[in-house]
Amino acid sequence: MNAPASRWALVTGASAGIGEAFARELAGKGIHLVLTARREDRLTALAEDLRSRHDIRTETIAADLARPDASARLCEELDRRGITIDILINNAGYGVPGHYLAQPWTVHADFLQVLVTAPCELAYRLLPGMQRRGYGRIANIASLAGHVPSSAGHAMYAASKAFLIKFSQSLALENRDKDIRVCAVCPGFTFSEFHDVTGARAQVSTMPRWMWMTSEEVAREGWSAVERGDIVHVTGRVNRLIKTLIKLLPDRLALNLVQRRSKSYRVMDPQQGTAE
């Protein structure tokens, strides 16, 4: 069953990258959009562009999901505007570079709030309405990193993505008889601002082009997976091959392999002074 054009989607982290690409993908299907991120100017520009291109309704709500009350306030604002959300794209996220102790705990606490707590809370608050209406779609943007051994540096990133994968699996099984489809969409290396924010642009720029996907490719393939009813979907054939091969290796060998390759996509740790 395809999403009727009268439905609304909420996209977090919609101001750039995969979030923006998902917004464009859904807009092309005639779905109305609520876009949220911290950068209000970008949200406004995107909303106006999608509204004029696709003749849909768009709303913007600037929010910082690192705030503990942000998800509740966001849902309250949706209620105030009379908008019912049937499609949730939990995309907001970023990376914290360097070794675990290189950052104060408050930085890690904000990270967990955005990448773990906010997706769970938004699903918790929006699921009851989806269940009542007998229709829902939730895409939790996880990562290939959640499937492969983690390396030194970004200690909480892979862990948070592995959590989203397991969370999506349980949520999907709990709601599969209600026409509510939940999918952990797991991209690999994607052209976006992510690596600029983490300071790893110089490192990842040396990686071969065949390892990369565009945000648009990820969104297109990811949404198709959601509609098919896939519970976990790794985007791109190369990434699926990497996942399969890593699973076949003994844990120690897989860890060593990932650790050696991590120098291509980890930044220098200011505390340790080594490539991460």
Task: Determine, yes or no, domain membership for 273.
Answer: no
168, 199, 206, 18 alpha-carbon torsion, rounded to 10°: 40
The span from the CA of 146 to the CA of 234, in Å, is 10
Q: Count Cα neighbours of 172 within 13 Å in the Cβ-side half-sphere.
A: 22
Task: Determine, yes or no, domain membership for 250.
Answer: yes
Q: What digits encode the pLDDT tens for the residues 64-111?
A: 999 999 999 999 999 999 999 999 999 999 999 889 999 999 999 999
Task: Determine, yes or no, domain membership for 2.
Answer: no
**Contact at 8 Å (CB) between 26 and 9?**
yes
The number of residues making up the chain comes to 276
Mean pLDDT within 114-139: 98
Task: Determine, yes or no, domain membership for 36.
Answer: yes
Q: Write down the H helix ranges in 62-104.
A: 70-80
Task: Determine, yes or no, domain membership for 3.
Answer: no
Task: Determine, yes or no, domain membership for 229.
Answer: yes
194, 200, 205, 206 alpha-carbon torsion, rounded to 10°: -140
If one counts every other C-beta atom within 10 angstroms of the C-beta of residue 53, the result is 11
pTM of the model: 0.88
pLDDT above 90 for 207: no
**Contact at 8 Å (CB) between 18 and 186?**
no
Task: Determine, yes or no, domain membership for 84.
Answer: yes
The span from the CA of 44 to the CA of 12, in Å, is 14
Give how many domains the chain has, as a whole number.
Answer: 1
Q: Considering 94, 100, 157, 265, which one is annotated as catalytic?
A: 157
The span from the CA of 146 to the CA of 209, in Å, is 22
Identify the three-state secondary structure at position 273: coil
Domain that holds residue 88: 8-264
pLDDT score for 206:
63
Question: Phi and psi (nearest 5°) for 185?
Answer: -90, 125
Task: Determine, yes or no, domain membership for 219.
Answer: yes
Q: What digits encode the pLDDT tens for the residues 229-240?
A: 999 999 999 999
Clarify whether 100 is annotated catalytic.
no
pLDDT score for 191:
72
Q: What digits encode the pLDDT tens for the residues 175-191?
A: 999 999 999 999 998 87
For residue 186, which of 214, 162, 155, 157 has the smallest C-alpha distance?
162
CATH code of residue 179: 3.40.50.720
